[in-house]
Amino acid sequence: MAEARTLKVAIAGLGVGSTQIIPAMAQMPGMQLVAAADFRKDALEAFRQKYGGRVYDSVDKLCADPEVEAVWISTPNQFHCEHVITAAEHGKHVVVEKPMALSIEECEKMVAAAEKNKIKLLCGHTQSFNPAIRAMRQVIKSGELGRLRALNTWMYTDWMLRPRMPQELDLKLGGGVVYRQGPHQIDTIRLLGGGMVRSVRAMTGQWMKERPAPGYYSAFLEFQDGTPAIVVYNGYGYFDSSELTWEMGERHYNQEERVRVRGELRNKTMDEEKAKEAMRFGGKREGEFTHGTAVQQERARRGIQGGGHFFGVTVVSCERGDIRQSPDGIYLYGDEGQKELPVTGRSASRFSELNELCEAVIQDRPVYHDGRWGMATLEVCLAIMQSARERREIMLTHQSPTPD
């Protein structure tokens, strides 16, 4: 990234997610974190003391700050559309967390606001930014293993056991794993498959009465060129797919903790609001929350970059071979046997997104994960839920191709 000048950024929303985003902003070359917005006074004061930036109790006030050039929207899902439009109308570039919005109509309004106000809109926080996934895409494009023929990705984690607020489990407010975890997998599959999904047939599962929202989905996607893709996510915390990926994946609790937490949820002895508040910015456990396993944390401590993070297991099948993740990159299985292709770069997607934002604004380069891309990913997520309700195939109309 060229460091021609410093990009001044702000964050809207100081929840749990911000504890991962803000450190990346503070470490990013060519970027200065200058402001934050939240309704929690304690969090704002903690931000002011730690980073010395200005603080606001509303997104409107933050976006009116003349020094802010770009805003990372990390507010609750139901406010993404409103806050992106507010930022755009103030001339601020935007990174919006997944999901982009709650409907196609909201996405269209966000895209229109970005185009009207000539600002960069980046749909962020998805695993398609991972260097190993990008390396897979490059192998597909190269034709080294022939044409792409099929895609499969599976993820098993403990998402449903973690402290949750009511809106995180309310479908009307963007709750449940399809809205909140689906974009990770769908963005990855769309990137690898060329972006243009033709149709979706899916089912969802809601299996835990203490969690009134879908915690499982299984989907069959067909791309316009006929390439099939299988996507599976299970957030109920029994089996963990990091067991298949060298103990590197997204995990919050170990097995003993999962047994304890599941019991607390069933016995209604967990104070979820207190537990959640402790993990937010300014909370007593700020910075302790991590999706990574002990193996990943040790790799990060040692400065090891590369493959290193797995959102489950992803396997790409081509005419003359297969591709999957390796501890330090990707494995290629071809006619001449197996080989490993090392991958460099940070596994944490926040750095990739921030880098893309800087390049887009400072160098006026295109945004690859733009509003139309984010809308296409959301369309697939919405189709998963619609297909499950109606038990039929859903045809798609808002897809966009993977950028070169």
**100-159 residue pLDDT tens:** 999 999 999 999 999 999 999 999 888 888 889 999 999 999 999 999 999 999 999 999
Order of all β-strands in the sheet with 313-318? 337-342, 329-334, 321-326, 313-318, 148-156, 228-234, 216-223, 197-205, 394-395
Residue 403 in any domain: the answer is no
Whether 186 and 328 map to the same domain: the answer is yes
pLDDT, residue 1, reads 44
Whether 161 and 90 map to the same domain: the answer is no
pTM of the model: 0.94
pLDDT, residue 92, reads 98
Residue 388 in any domain: the answer is yes
Q: Provide the β-strand partners of residue 218.
A: 203, 232
Whether 227 and 324 map to the same domain: the answer is yes
Confidence category of residue 211, pLDDT binned at 50, 70, 90: very high
Averaged confidence pLDDT in the chain: 92
Residue 68 in any domain: the answer is yes
Q: Given a cut of 50, is residue 2 above it in pLDDT?
A: no
pLDDT tens digit sequence for 362-401: 999 999 999 999 999 999 999 999 999 999 999 999 999 9
List the CATH number of the domain containing 230: 3.30.360.10
Whether 85 and 186 map to the same domain: the answer is no
Residue 375 in any domain: the answer is no
Residue 404 in any domain: the answer is no
* Alpha carbons 110 and 90: distance in angstroms, whole number: 13
CA distances from 306 to 47, 131, 243, 341 (A): 31, 7, 19, 10
Q: Given a cut of 70, is residue 297 above it in pLDDT?
A: no
* Alpha carbons 390 and 385: distance in angstroms, whole number: 9
- CA dihedral sign of residues 308, 311, 313, 314: negative
Residue 402 in any domain: the answer is no
Confidence category of residue 277, pLDDT binned at 50, 70, 90: very high
Whether 150 and 289 map to the same domain: the answer is yes
Residue 144 in any domain: the answer is yes
Q: In degrees rounded to 5, what are phi and psi of residue 290?
A: -150, 145
Q: In degrees rounded to 5, what are phi and psi of residue 386?
A: -65, -40
Averaged pLDDT for residues 294-319: 71
Whether 235 and 280 map to the same domain: the answer is yes
Tokens found for residue 72: 């990372």
Q: What letter does residue 226 receive in the DSSP assignment? A: S
Residue 385 in any domain: the answer is yes
What residues make up the domain containing 72? 7-127+348-370
CA distances from 37 to 26, 73, 120, 165 (A): 16, 10, 20, 20
Tokens found for residue 26: 């503070």
List the CATH number of the domain containing 24: 3.40.50.720
pLDDT tens digit sequence for 68-105: 999 999 999 999 999 999 999 999 999 999 999 999 99
Q: Given a cut of 90, is residue 341 above it in pLDDT?
A: yes
Whether 46 and 122 map to the same domain: the answer is yes
Quick check: 316 and 148 in contact, CB under 8 A?
A: yes
Tokens found for residue 129: 């930014």
Where is average pLDDT lowest: 15-19, 100-104, 197-201, 209-213?
15-19
Residue whose C-alpha is closest to residue 138's, from 268, 294, 323: 323
Whether 109 and 221 map to the same domain: the answer is no
Whether 170 and 212 map to the same domain: the answer is yes
Tokens found for residue 238: 């029994």
Whether 273 and 294 map to the same domain: the answer is yes
Q: Given a cut of 80, is residue 281 above it in pLDDT?
A: yes
* Alpha carbons 371 and 123: distance in angstroms, whole number: 6
* Alpha carbons 266 and 68: distance in angstroms, whole number: 45
Longest CA pairwise span in the chain (Å): 61
Q: What is the domain count for the chain?
A: 2
Tokens found for residue 284: 């007593």
Percentage of residues in the chain with pLDDT exceeding 90? 81
Residue where the block lists tokens 């501890």: 327
- Amino acid identity at 169: L
Q: What letter does residue 223 receive in the DSSP assignment? A: E
Confidence category of residue 289, pLDDT binned at 50, 70, 90: low
What is the b/e burial string over 354-390, where b = at least 16 CB atoms within 10 angstroms of the residue's CB? bbbbbbbbbeeeebbbbbbbbbbbbbbbbbbbebbee
Whether 149 and 266 map to the same domain: the answer is yes
Q: Provide the β-strand partners of residue 250.
A: 292
Whether 90 and 135 map to the same domain: the answer is no
CA 256, distance to chain mean position in Å, is 27
Start-to-end Cα distance in the chain: 19
